[in-house]
Structure 1
């Protein structure tokens, strides 16, 4: 959630470079324009891939719809997944969690796939999970998938990026009813710079250079705006031409909205090949110039056979 104080082996795959026009791309295009200005409540339907994940009816994490039967989230959201899968529910098309809406669809889940690199520790690599729904959902104006980037995509620090969720508005302070979906414009931060920031500002609580190649940093260096508890697993999206594309999944951080300590996200491009391994029908997109400016082009990468098999949003 986002108020003034908010939030917070490789596989070689062939991706043909078949360009699509904006009209051919069906992902990442909300029917209702976001019309976003920063750190505030979203409009209903502005982020139709956003999902809420609940246990015993209580929301605990977010996620993003990537196909009719698949959601991507964070591995740290499911430390007990093997035993409680039948008690987890996914809400799609939700806007205000404490208000009934005919636009919302609830789905049981079939299974959860955790990345094998996730070790359950703070700041672990592999903090990404795939959630398979019991049955495919029907796309509506309020339920649509986000685009997935190919593994070669490198998002620009000048890209237009947003993080969304229903998490705490500050540490220990949950979002109040009607629990309206929150959104925050964030700046991507180069990995080397982010490591320097963490080494200087949190060197006593994190390992040296904690931001690895599978992670993305984003936020506001002045502090005061960030993701927080409950936002874990939710999407960080960036605009590529006409489609919003998943850049990362809310993973971990040191506190919420502290100066010089941006949020850390599991990188969607880094894990594109792993996602493809489990969902071979998945399509991926490119993002020319990393989303910088308004002239980026989407690029289609249909699923082909493999050529070669060659964190918890935590408060430290």
Structure 2
């Protein structure tokens, strides 16, 4: 393999809230592969897939920046590093076709998430409350969430979906899916420490993380926040990887089982006062500062590439 820079995938371009009407995307050209090693999703196969949008002052439209999953008529699950003030699109196979965007009115990140540590610190998961309940249909339906006691066995086959980038080709317009195999955390951590011995990181893969995928199969930039689903139950949220699964390193997901505990009655007063509460079984995350949980225009990123360093060739 040639020498490459390994980059951890997060989010980079500024994302600012806005109220300008959505502009129509030009008709896409030929179908292109999206998630690396993936194929186009058939209609109604993954009705919980969500596109997170930010308003681009350069293109004057709401552009796709991350994925997410519909877990309730008024709630979306995504990665904490994707969470900023934006809108979402549900029930769409091809990006920008007949957009009907819904505003995000509340953002709740996991309290463990530390922006200074970024995804390496864990807790890369967040909840988004929508302005109103979305009407459910065959193309818009919540994904099932796992019980906290669920264990995902090594080598289990799961699916990850998204509209993410595949370099050097343009982003696909059609939602992509790819089948990936789960890896034991211990083996995944060893793989990353072997690949980057100079980083002196004691533990790459934390207990609230899950690894899946391999070379040529997995998520790319733009897929962050999207769901990892095993037998129609969401077990992971796309968190970070090594740029589209180069070097045979697996992608890393936030382990959903680590946060599905408790009941609605145990949620924060802020959420109990909501007109529509999230489903039982999902433990929402009490924000560090309650006032910061309300979405306001601000910056977040879309392909924040966090360099590990000048790295050796792939092992």
TM-score over 0.5 for the pair: yes
**RMSD, matched Cα:** 2.4
Task: State the number of aligned residues.
Answer: 237
| Distance (Å, rounded) in 2 between the aligned partners of 1:273 and 1:206 | 33
Kept after mapping to 1: 8 A contact 2:54/2:64: yes
In the TM superposition, residue 261 of structure 1 has moved relative to its aligned partner by 1.2
The 1-side partners of 2:213 and 2:262 are apart by 26
Between 201-210 and 147-156, the greater mean CA deviation after superposition: 201-210
| Structure 2 residue aligned with 1:115 | 110
Q: Does 1:250 align with 2:238?
A: yes
**Other-structure match for 1:47:** 46
**Per the alignment, in what secondary structure is the counterpart of residue 64 of structure 1?**
strand
SS at match of 1:118: coil
CA distance in 2, matches of 1:224, 1:71: 28
Q: CA distance change for structure 1 residues 173 and 203 in 2, over 3 Å: closer, same or farther?
A: farther
d(CA) in 2 for partners of 1:140, 1:158: 33
Aligned mates of 1:141, 1:256 — CA distance in 2: 31
Aligned position for 2:250: 262
Task: Write the deviation string for residues 71-120 of structure 1: whole angstroms up to 9, x where unpaired.
Answer: 00000012xx3xxx3xx1100001100333xxx64211111101111111
Separation of aligned partners in 2, 1:60 and 1:206: 31
1:156 offset after TM fit, Å? Answer: 1.7
Q: TM-score, normalised by structure 2?
A: 0.69
Query: Is 1:161 matched with 2:146?
Result: no
Note the C-alpha offset of 1:157: 2.2
Query: Distance between the aligned counterparts of 1:281 and 1:46, measured in 2?
Result: 23
Corresponding position of 2:217:
225
Q: Secondary structure at the match of 2:247?
A: coil
State the distance in 2 between where 1:106 and 1:252 align: 26
Q: 1:215 aligns with which of 202, 209, 212?
A: 209
**One of 256, 261, 273 as aligned partner of 1:273:** 261
Report Cα offsets for 1:18-73 as digits up to 9, x if no partner.
xxxxxxxxxxxxxxxxxxxx721111221100000001101101100000100000
| Equivalent residues in 2 for 1:139-158, closer than 5 Å | 139-158=136-155
Q: Residues of 2 paired with 1:43 and 1:252: CA distance? A: 26
In 1, Cα distance between the equivalents of 2:194 and 2:188?
10
Following superposition of structure 1 onto structure 2, how do residues 65-80 of structure 1 map, counting pairs within 5 Å? 65-78=70-83
Deviation (angstroms), 1:169? 1.3
Q: In structure 2, what is the Cα distance between the partners aligned to 1:108 and 1:49?
A: 17
CA distance in 2, matches of 1:250, 1:184: 13
Q: 1:226 to 1:206 in 2, by over 3 A?
A: farther
1:253–1:314 Cα contact (<8 Å) kept? no
Q: Which runs of 5+ in 2 are unaligned?
A: 1-7, 10-36, 56-61, 272-276, 284-302, 308-315
> Could you list the runs of 5+ residues in structure 1 that have no partner in the other structure?
1-6, 9-37, 285-300, 304-311
- Could you tell me which of 161, 183, 203 is aligned with 1:189? 183
* Separation in 2, partners of 1:275, 1:99: 37
**Corresponding position of 2:31:** none
TM norm structure 1: 0.69
8 Å Cα contact 1:198/1:209 also seen in 2: no
Give the structure 2 partner of residue 175 of structure 1.
171
